[in-house]
Amino acid sequence: MEILIKPIITEKMTSLAEKLNRYGFIVDKSANKIQIKKAVEAAYGVKVDSVNTQQYVGKVKSRNTTRGLAIGRVNRSKRAFVTLKQGETIDFYANI
């Protein structure tokens, strides 16, 4: 099972990484905190201090088109916010 799907790279998460040493990931919906911790430590070679998770419920969106009202839904996801131990960092841009 693929635990880590992709990292969350936004301005807000970048500032949290600099200030609080906290990184965000979109993870598998059935993964728990222990599995997420082991997956981050194995993938990036760092020591994890804590893991917080969040279930993101998809929103219903609608827009007016020439053919009428189009209604859709944004996908559901689970997010994990990982705080690393002091002195540890993750460089997402090293492989570019």
- Tell me: the pLDDT tens digits for 24-76? 999 999 999 999 999 999 999 999 999 999 999 989 999 999 999 999 999 99
CA distance 81 to 59: 21
pLDDT for residue 94 is more than 90: no
The torsion angles phi and psi of 94, rounded to 5 degrees, stand at -70, -30
How much is the pTM? Answer: 0.84
Assigned CATH class of 4-84? alpha beta
7 to each of 3, 26, 80, how far by Cα in Å?
12, 6, 9
Q: Could you state, in order of their start, the residue ranges of all structural domains in the chain?
A: 4-84
pLDDT of residue 96: 63
Strand residues in 11-59 grouped as ranges (E)? 22-27, 48-56
